[in-house]
A and B are shown apart, each in its own frame.
Chain A
Amino acid sequence: MTRKKTSKSAAATGYMGISGAELLHEMLLEQGVETMFGYPGGMVLPFFDVLYSSPIKFVLTRHEQGAAHMADGYSRATGKTGVVLATSGPGATNLVTGLATANMDSIPIVAFTGQVRSHLIGNDAFQEADITGITRPVVKHNYLVKRVEDLGRTVREAFHIARTGRPGPVVVDIAIDATTAKLAEEPDLELRLPGYKPQTVGNVRQVKLAAEAINASERPVLYVGGGVVLAGASDLMRAIATKGSIPVTTTLLGLGSFDESSPLALQMLGMHGSASANFAVQDCDCLIAVGARFDDRVTGNLANFAPNAKIIHIDVDPASISKNVVVDIPVVGDAKDILTKMLPLIQEKDRSPWVSRITEWKQRYPFRYDADGHIKPQEVIETIGKMTDHDAVVATGVGQHQMWSAQFYGWRRPRQIITSGGLGTMGFGCPASIGAQFALPGATVIDIDGDGSFSMTMVEVITAVQYQQPVKFVVLDNGFLGMVRQWQEMFYGRRYSSVVHKCPDFAGLARAFGAHGIRVSERSELADAVGEMLKHEGPVVLHAEVEPEENVYPMVPAGKSLHEMELGKLA
């Protein structure tokens, strides 16, 4: 590691005469970038030449989408900004799904893309794509840099925008001549963002109003989303919950911000949330939303969501307030700032009648399944939870296995779950888990995946092998695209249309990739298989053959209210 982080004033001098590619590299070091993910190509060659002797670790993926998800997983695991690099045209367009995924979940990523020579832009040059045009709706902001003089400032702005306010992905598209050109004079690196002023400090009066409403309530519920994790406010939120005896339910992205072994934990709410969480939200007299955005998968039928509650909404994004649900007390700002101000105002209050009602619901309607017949996907996840002391970092794909992971792992701490919530991106788990492992070298990182999701991006297992990242990939193979099959079973008369999903021997495939492969199909061998996987020092694929037609319950059918959920076997 050569260069230490330089101070701002020092960094602004001494760049005259270096190339754009070298300046980009200097700026990345200034931003503290240690690891980046991506793929080379014609329009980014000047930068790769600089990387040849760089302290920055560059991870060569097998596909640019994988690189974007790795940068995302890296960020979700640590809170650092993920960095990804791709060439122009197809390299850049392959990032789009990853950018949209990060955008929906407010994950800070800076993506650099190569662009054709500035005088060729617009001429349909080889590997040209209008990537600022293509990505504009799925990023927080983007730039096209045509002149080396603008490059340094733009990189600083990109990182600043990505990680402040409501975080999100920023694309910097750089014409190749801006990287080959040399700086004729010292560049102006001052940010020029007159229109970017995120409101981070919460209004004291609003905080007071919110605290008064909470103190006056008999049956409050905290509804906590990914914003609390992003703001690093989980401890404060827990302190408020404990002080006021306030039960806590989390969204998918909020999982881990509240220890699920607590008596106040309601686990996840919404379409596949716990019955206790959904009943509590419908019955509460004060709903305190923190860093959550009233997504349709959370609220069910909006007209009848939390019908008896005064709604408090704490969020850093003013546009999230009253977008879906009309809010009684909005508090705009950073969750950490707001909860710090709120904590001393919260009264210790005995809410034992409410808490005991919740305990009853929890006892009566826990997440459950019948352990008979084939291995059940839920028991694989439960086994992994127990055998990792609920302390692993777990990534998922999207579908049934994602919901079962949310329900059965047993979440204990923030940044433990790495999952695509808003966009619901199948194929996210495998690369995201690898990104998380790069960020957390000693940690146990597990990708709990479905056969459908895993098949989309499993090529990145080769990346894990190349860089010796000991990720444990668990493939729950039910031979179906399970969530779609469940909907076809429940709402389309069991007409299974294009959901039968034939799988290869993933364990054998893993061995061909150079990883360890284990296959399990018998309940009696499950614990040993998981044990073998966890003990193995390198990357492992565990192929688990599970019950083909298991359904996720509870389920709130689309358009219904939360309390109208179908309990299935829970009833």
Chain B
Amino acid sequence: MRHVISALVQNQPGVLAHVAGMFAARGFNIDSLVVGRTESPDLSRMTIVVVGDDRVLEQVRKQLAKLVPVVKVRDFGEVKYIERDLLLVRVAVSAERRPEVIELVNLFRGRVVDVARSSVMVELSGTEDKLEAFIDLARTYGIRELARTGVIAMARDQQKAAEETE
């Protein structure tokens, strides 16, 4: 099972090494790990995509929570949430076929951010599935270079929805 786990951590040196080291030492597999700032300058958010069975994921959550600089751990496996991954990709394409690629980019609601004689750079965000689908289609033209940020996620505001139904 693929799970997106979010950890709020104290913004101090060594925290990333702490979390990454724990994952390595305990043999947990990370698909992606993203660190970024939050609304509070004292806190950073790590969004980690992990694959494992229920027992592995339970251990991941508990071992994360056990680290002193980790303030809060949330597994999005149990709630409705939005996830986004950002992609930059340089697609090899000649001037003649460029409109095909632009059409494809529009279908995926992406943007062309750079155009050169034999390539275009595309920016695209969305779920991992959506990005995979685009990459698959772009391969038919040829991919020169690709970079992804990894997944960040945020839960939908359930409280609000619940109040409305009452």
A residues adjacent to B (C-beta < 8 A): 132-133, 136-137, 140-141, 144, 161, 192-196, 317-319, 321-323, 326
- Which residues in A have their C-beta under 8 angstroms from that of B27? none
* Cβ A319 vs Cβ B68 within 8 A: no
Please determine whether A195 and B69 come into contact, CB atoms closer than 8 angstroms: yes
CB within 8 Å: A-B pair count: 41
Cβ of B127 within 8 Å of any chain A Cβ, yes or no, is no
What residues of chain B lie closer than 8 Å to A318, measured between beta carbons? 62, 65-66
Contact partner of B58 (CB less than 8 A), chosen from A144, A194, A322, is A322
Inter-chain CA distance A194–B59, complex, in Å, is: 21
Q: Are A132 and B68 CB-contacts (below 8 A) given A137-B25, A195-B9?
A: no
Measured CB to CB, the nearest residue on chain B to A170 is B68
Do A144 and B9 contact each other (CB < 8 Å), given the known contacts A195-B67, A322-B58? no
| Minimum CB distance partner of A161 in chain B | B68
Question: Which residues of B are at the interface with A, using a C-beta cutoff of 8 A?
Answer: 9-10, 13-14, 17-18, 21-22, 25, 55, 58-59, 62-63, 65-72
- How distant is A130 from chain B, measured CB to nearest CB, in Å? 10
Q: How far is the CA of A479 from the CA of B5 in the complex (A)?
A: 54
Q: Tell me, in angstroms, the Cα distance from A318 to B25 when the chains sit together.
A: 18
Q: Are A144 and B62 interface neighbours, CB within 8 A?
A: no
Q: Are A196 and B68 in contact (CB under 8 A)?
A: yes
Contact call A140/B68, Cβ cutoff below 8 A = yes
CA distance A101 to B66 in the complex (A): 19
Chain B hits for A317, CB < 8 A: 66
Which chain B residues lie closer than 8 Å to A140 at the CB level?
68
Q: Name the one of A136, A144, A194 contacting B10, with C-beta atoms under 8 angstroms.
A: A194
Given contact pairs A140-B68, A195-B67, enumerate 17 new A-B contacts (beta carbons under 8 Å): A136-B17, A136-B18, A137-B25, A141-B68, A161-B68, A192-B10, A194-B10, A194-B71, A195-B10, A195-B68, A195-B70, A195-B72, A196-B68, A318-B66, A319-B59, A319-B63, A321-B62
A193 touches B55 (CB 8 A): no
Q: Are B68 and A323 within 8 A (Cβ)? A: no
Query: In the bound complex, how far is the Cα of B68 from the Cα of A194, in angstroms?
Result: 9
| Known pairs A137-B25, A194-B71; A323 contacts B59 (CB<8 A) | yes
A132 lies within 8 A of B14 (CB): yes
Select one of A144, A161, A192 contacting B13, CB under 8 A: A144
In the bound complex, how far is the Cα of B63 from the Cα of A457, in angstroms?
34
